[in-house]
Structure 1
Amino acid sequence: MAERGAHITTASPNEDRPSIFEVVAQESLMAAVRPALHHVIKVFAESNPVRYGTLWRWFDELYTLLDLLLQQHYLSWASSSFSENFYGLKRVALGTSGRGQRLARHEYWRSLLLLVLVPYLRVKLEKLVSRLREEADYSIQHPTSFCKKFDKVILAAYPFAKFAWEGWFLFYQLRYILGNARHHSPLLGLAGVQLARLTVEDLRAMEKRAGQTTSPQAALSASQGVRSIMKKALGGMAVSLSSSLSLGVFFLQFLDWWYSAENQETLKSMSTLPAPPPPIHFELETYSPLLPKLRTVCPLCRKVRVNDTALGTSGYVFCYRCAYYYVKHHQRCPVSGYPTELQHLIRLYTPDG
């Protein structure tokens, strides 16, 4: 029974066409690397905002730059992305076996742009939609304004666009499983390539490209000798980086599991501390200058509060308009300085209001 069902999980080693499990696994590899690195940068930024805050604010752009350098190295060296090379796969032109052949120039640039640009644009779009949803819940803009209407159009169209995008990929994967398509992803079709397994000839060619040396005549020139040393050093750094990434994949996947929502709920239930007591009302001479003497006055505008709103992270009460704009631009409580977000605003309704 096991022998008869072995072809379901893996293809024959003599076949160049990888199984659906291999191609899906290599896609999930990079999908796990990004959130793990994102959490690592977040931990550093929270521990030292002055030093690492810039990395947190520009994480998407910095990650895209590193991804561009990494994918460019693997496409030029192994004709594959990092995750594809990790699983022993390569990119070849559509309809060919690709034995001993490298990607053409247009296939190389298409693959590079689709590997790097599409994930970046998708992350930016998801963040834009998330921000628009928060503003739709907490914004005080007039609902008939042009910007508000345009935001509603984006929020209404996004679920259908996401459904169509995911369905597009699912359609190609089903065709690939049934043997009616040469590639499992429409992005591979746009790049004009398909995936195949690495062969012994491919491994030898990769080793030859990695160990290429300059000719003895070129080494006689001092300038060319310096260039040769720099080229070797950069090549060694690239190989070291790829090896380090390969070894760090397991660690990053472990971090992704450790900081998952389910695991964090378990950790919080085991280490939850009791709520702190409310702030003590100090004497007037020692009272905080940020707080007004009258309890009905807003600490921001110094006027009688309108639409009382409390910050869930600190417990202090402000005008809704004052608290909304301050938290939106500073992401912290104006009195205590605790980090906060718009969803922490709590409207208070008094019996006489």
Structure 2
Amino acid sequence: MLFQVGGQGDRPTFFEMAAAQQLPASLRAALTYSIGVLALRRPFLHKVLDYEDEFFAMLMLVLETHSLRTTDASFAESLYGLRRRSVQLKIKNDNVRLIKGEKSQPSGLEKRQRILSVVFLVVLPYFKSKLNSVYNREREARLQASLWGNDDETFEGTSYFDGTEASPVPSRTSDTQVTVRARLRKKVQKLVFACYPFLHAGVEGLSFSYQLLYLLDATGFYSLGLHALGIHVCRATGQELMDTSSRISKIRSRERERLRGPPWLKAVQGALLRCSYTMLDYAQTGLIAAVFFFKMMEWWYQSAEERMSAPTVYPPPPPPPPPKVAKEGISLPNDRTMCPLCSQKRANPSVVTVSGFVFCYACIFKYISQYNRCPITLMPSNVDQIRRLFHDM
């Protein structure tokens, strides 16, 4: 049961089904990597990476639609010589009851099953990817807020940190200034953040259950989607391969017969059809060959010595947000050149390194010596953390 690699019978092995299911994700990762390599010399390709989900969904929509239309199999399943067959269950008498021990009769896919197969193969994975992106962004935003606090409650003024000009008024955004679109987006993000973990766990749990039952020969459906559509995945026979070739020829003949217009227009339409047929015929091998070619070229032009000797340079991390002003702390003056302690123009301006606020040297030295904290943020500090500023902006 676990090692039916020999491929006896029409039923695919668990490993064949798993490989076919994981191929789109591997293909997406390889295509993203290849486009990233090309974008180093062609910067306009970065726009493709900005809309990676949409680009890959459109590509798979074309491939899956063509594959299901011509071969009754998904793009990945056709690479492994598999076919989808509709399951027609037998009944006896007028009672809708299955005959025990009776095998299902597989047949070709219906139009409804092809359309729904595209939905399960392309549309649902696209929405899942978008939900995952929204969830990750919301999680990162909440993690940052838990570490640094809410940015809306911090001061935009940086004169008390490094001497630059800004306003000491806190940047609180009132509800009246928030647009309806921003509110709706925030609510959707919160809803996704609350519901997505449970939805993801449920989907993964059902997927694992079906795969386990398929591995134990307890069911003929590898996934919930196949069960809902009433489809079995089977190995393609020689007759089916011949029928597929004749079906493709008939479909293309009908499409050529539908061409209307003057002779020159028919010639142009026929040339476009031939180009599209050629692209679709070689799409499978072309995609795999292109990915392999780019991986080989990268390995060829980047030696092991260069990878070992090249230093890893990372961009500098962004500066942390300014510390929050404590409610019990001293309020900031409106004039940035005034000392918050004595409310006079700063003399011998000095900064507290733990918070970045600037005071008179005598005022801050006396305050920290007595209280051992910053007077504005109430963060613990000592006199060794006072630094003289020789250029007061």
Q: Confirm whether residue 170 of structure 1 aligns to residue 212 of structure 2.
A: no
Counterpart residue number, 1:28: 22
Deviation of the 1:111 alpha carbon: 0.3
Counterpart residue number, 1:10: 4
Find the aligned partners of 1:89 and 1:182 in 2 and give their Cα distance: 14
- Check 1:137–1:105 CA distance in 2 against 1; reply closer, same or farther (3 A cut): same
- Check 1:149–1:235 CA distance in 2 against 1; reply closer, same or farther (3 A cut): closer
- Contact persistence 1:89–1:195 (CA under 8 A): yes
Counterpart residue number, 1:134: 140
Counterpart residue number, 1:41: 35
- Check 1:150–1:29 CA distance in 2 against 1; reply closer, same or farther (3 A cut): closer
Find the aligned partners of 2:67 and 2:188 in 1 and give their Cα distance: 41
Bigger CA drift: 194-203 or 149-158? Answer: 149-158
- Contact persistence 1:141–1:148 (CA under 8 A): no
Deviation of the 1:192 alpha carbon: 2.6
- Contact persistence 1:17–1:196 (CA under 8 A): yes
Counterpart residue number, 1:114: 120
- Check 1:79–1:267 CA distance in 2 against 1; reply closer, same or farther (3 A cut): farther
Write the deviation string for residues 148-197 of structure 1: whole angstroms up to 9, x where unpaired. 78756643543332222111011111211222212110011223312011
Q: In the alignment, residue 10 of structure 1 is paired with which amino acid?
A: Q
Counterpart residue number, 1:334: none
Q: Which has the larger radius of gyration?
A: 2
Counterpart residue number, 1:291: none
Q: Confirm whether residue 53 of structure 1 aligns to residue 46 of structure 2.
A: yes
- Contact persistence 1:97–1:196 (CA under 8 A): no
Find the aligned partners of 2:312 and 2:78 in 1 and give their Cα distance: 50
Counterpart residue number, 2:165: none
- Check 1:152–1:109 CA distance in 2 against 1; reply closer, same or farther (3 A cut): closer
Q: In the alignment, residue 188 of structure 1 is paired with which amino acid?
A: L
Find the aligned partners of 1:59 and 1:20 in 2 and give their Cα distance: 30
Counterpart residue number, 1:89: 82
- Check 1:66–1:274 CA distance in 2 against 1; reply closer, same or farther (3 A cut): closer
- Contact persistence 1:107–1:191 (CA under 8 A): yes
Counterpart residue number, 2:172: none
Name the % identity: 26
Q: Confirm whether residue 179 of structure 1 aligns to residue 173 of structure 2.
A: no
SS of the equivalent of 1:17 reads coil
Aligned-residue RMSD, C-alpha: 3.9
Find the aligned partners of 1:243 and 1:269 in 2 and give their Cα distance: 31
Bigger CA drift: 53-62 or 40-49? Answer: 40-49
Deviation of the 1:210 alpha carbon: 3.8
The correspondence of residues 270-285 of structure 1 with structure 2, limited to 5 A, is 270-271=308-309, 273=311
User: What's the TM-score, normalizing by structure 1?
Assistant: 0.64
Find the aligned partners of 1:244 and 1:238 in 2 and give their Cα distance: 9
The correspondence of residues 189-200 of structure 1 with structure 2, limited to 5 A, is 189-200=227-238
Deviation of the 1:251 alpha carbon: 5.9
Deviation of the 1:52 alpha carbon: 2.0
Find the aligned partners of 1:315 and 1:233 in 2 and give their Cα distance: 49
Q: Confirm whether residue 239 of structure 1 aligns to residue 281 of structure 2.
A: yes
Higher share of residues assigned helix: 1
Find the aligned partners of 1:34 and 1:185 in 2 and give their Cα distance: 21
- Contact persistence 1:10–1:19 (CA under 8 A): yes
Deviation of the 1:233 alpha carbon: 3.0
Q: In the alignment, residue 29 of structure 1 is paired with which amino acid?
A: L
- Check 1:194–1:214 CA distance in 2 against 1; reply closer, same or farther (3 A cut): closer
- Contact persistence 1:80–1:89 (CA under 8 A): yes
Deviation of the 1:238 alpha carbon: 1.0
- Check 1:38–1:249 CA distance in 2 against 1; reply closer, same or farther (3 A cut): closer
- Check 1:313–1:102 CA distance in 2 against 1; reply closer, same or farther (3 A cut): same
- Check 1:83–1:248 CA distance in 2 against 1; reply closer, same or farther (3 A cut): farther
- Contact persistence 2:7–2:13 (CA under 8 A): no
Find the aligned partners of 1:91 and 1:65 in 2 and give their Cα distance: 22
The correspondence of residues 197-212 of structure 1 with structure 2, limited to 5 A, is 197-212=235-250
Structure 1 portions without partners, runs of 5+: 1-6, 259-265, 276-311, 322-346
- Contact persistence 2:57–2:126 (CA under 8 A): yes
Counterpart residue number, 1:63: 56
Q: In the alignment, residue 20 of structure 2 is paired with which amino acid?
A: Q
- Contact persistence 1:45–1:55 (CA under 8 A): no
Deviation of the 1:24 alpha carbon: 0.4
Q: Confirm whether residue 102 of structure 1 aligns to residue 102 of structure 2.
A: no
- Check 1:136–1:188 CA distance in 2 against 1; reply closer, same or farther (3 A cut): same
Structure 2 portions without partners, runs of 5+: 89-103, 154-174, 176-182, 324-352, 357-372, 380-393
- Contact persistence 2:131–2:196 (CA under 8 A): no
Q: Confirm whether residue 75 of structure 1 aligns to residue 68 of structure 2.
A: yes
